Structure 1
Amino acid sequence: MITRVPKPGRRARYVAVKAAYGGGTAGGLAGLAVALLATEAKLARRTIGTPTETAPFAAGSYGHGRRGDKPVHLAVLGDSAAAGLGCDAPGQTPGALVAGAIARDLHRRVDLDVVAVTGARSADLEIQVDKVLRRSVDAAVIIVGANDVTHRVPVAAAARDLARTVRALRATGAVVVVGTCPDLGSVKPVMQPLRTVAAYWSRRLAAAQTMAVVEEGGIAVSLGDLLGREFSELPHLWSDDRFHPSPEGYRRIVDALLPSVLEALGVQIPVS
């Protein structure tokens, strides 16, 4: 294999990407890569800013069941993508969209709990699962991983924290569907080469999450594989901050998750 060395003006970016993929040289070049990535990460955070808003409050009851039917308890855990930061109204959030679909297809009332928190990492799921397990849970939807990537949490540690959460939920009999780490390479305010590196880290974490979830009896949905290209090419899928999804972006995410949730709850999904 021939590796082409870029022109001097591009060498720093080349080194950064090579280092992130495990191909960087030792000493000064590795230090240069780290410094460059750290600088570009700061610029990305400055461009995106710190969220000052909260996701719309979507917890509550959805739909109407038959008399005597037990409501379905749906829990949503994870980070801002699970909470719906970027939505304008509760009904646009992932929890509300999933709850509404379950109520419609099962003809049962759905009681929705949303314990997802903006900025949460996989380690924070332990607190969230303790909250939802104060009552029986029938189904849980988890979206997490982006903040593990941005804070450089080791992949093995993040996957282990997620596995622990899935195990706790499955032990109660709950259906668990996890949307794995999205493709952070589709976030336009993140400059190159950090965007390429973020995409690589995202894929690594998503792969580890998939194995962890399946081993614990959950269902993993690869949001990066299913939606990464759409989010990269369609600006209207992003909210004004260009980091969190727009209402339409969340609808695409729920469209990816929903078949697995409904099928796990016993709804027959037509084969197209």
Structure 2
Amino acid sequence: MLAPILLAQAVRVRRATPRLPGATGPVSGLVRGEGGPLRLAVLGESTVDGVGAATHAEALTGQLADALARGGRAVAWQAVGRTGANARVAREDLLPLLEPADLVVIALGVNDTIELHSATRYRRDLLDLMVSLRRRAGHVPVVLAGVPPMGRFPALPRPLRDVLGARSGALDAAAARLGSLPGVVHVQMPAAMLDPATFAEDRFHPGPEGYRRWAEQLADVSRRLLSDTIQPENR
């Protein structure tokens, strides 16, 4: 019964939402610090493409690199993102661009939600991505960022917001099951993190402050993962 309403709302949102470009500037860089740099690669959709920020320094990857470098170690970062990418596209088109890394962060799920993919398909596509990643990069630690709770996206009217919010939650729950894989940590994004004031002009993507909050959360988990997986090997 809701289908005609949801379709009409989706069309209106698509027409009314500003189309923001991805971040400008280099897609790789170095945050200076002590010792050999930690090689960070971030793989994913428009948030990794930096939509909502002027440069990658203000977007997710650059801010995550900055947060990780506060421990004193240099961080060499690479952003491998594409606006509109889903998990399958990330494996087929983006993974081949990945350079050697000591830590990989994967940020996906919004496009799989919008495309109404099932939780089963999303988990399968993510698993295929993980397997291909390990074949390419070895047993690299992976932080799997949670699917953003789309029920908090200001650009979405109700009931479309509620429907996509429920589906994004289902996809995130499916992704969380992959956190049981060795060297993989799933990080759920709390709904409270999505303050409307932190969104970009389109009210759909994070702005620099939204990216900063997200990067801080991912950095905390990344430090613990690296401590558990890398340091013991060096003892």
Same fold (TM over 0.5): yes
**What's the counterpart of residue 131 of structure 2?**
167
**What's the counterpart of residue 239 of structure 1?**
200
- Compute the TM-score of the two structures, normalised by the length of structure 2: 0.87
**Cα distance in 1, alignment partners of residues 83 and 76 from structure 2:** 22
**What's the counterpart of residue 118 of structure 1?**
83
**AA matched with 1:117:** R
**AA matched with 1:91:** A
**Cα distance in 2, alignment partners of residues 220 and 166 from structure 1:** 12
C-alpha contact (below 8 Å) 1:84/1:250 kept by paired residues: no
Aligned pair in 2 of structure 1 residues 217, 163: CA closer, same or farther (>3 Å)? farther
**Cα distance in 2, alignment partners of residues 98 and 230 from structure 1:** 16
**What's the counterpart of residue 178 of structure 1?**
144
Larger % of strand: which?
A: 2
1:256 aligns with 2:221: no
**Cα distance in 2, alignment partners of residues 235 and 100 from structure 1:** 24
- Compute the TM-score of the two structures, normalised by the length of structure 1: 0.76
Runs of 5+ in structure 1 lacking a partner? 1-31, 268-272
Deviation, structure 1 residue 170: 4.2
Secondary structure in 1 matching 2:106:
strand
1:46 aligns with 2:15: yes
Rg larger for: 1
Percent identity at matched positions?
A: 29
**Cα distance in 1, alignment partners of residues 125 and 179 from structure 2:** 10
**What's the counterpart of residue 104 of structure 1?**
70
Deviation >6 Å, runs of 4+: none
Aligned pair in 2 of structure 1 residues 256, 104: CA closer, same or farther (>3 Å)? closer
Give the counterpart of 2:41 among 55, 61, 75: 75
**What's the counterpart of residue 102 of structure 2?**
138
Q: Residue by residue, what CA displacement relative to the aligned partner does 1:73-100 show, whole Å, maximum 9, x if unpaired?
A: 2111011122321112332121112222
Aligned pair in 2 of structure 1 residues 90, 82: CA closer, same or farther (>3 Å)? closer
Give the counterpart of 1:86 among 30, 40, 52: 52
**Structure of greater relative contact order (alpha carbons < 8 Å, 6+ residues apart):** 2
Aligned-residue RMSD, C-alpha:
1.9
Paired positions, count: 224
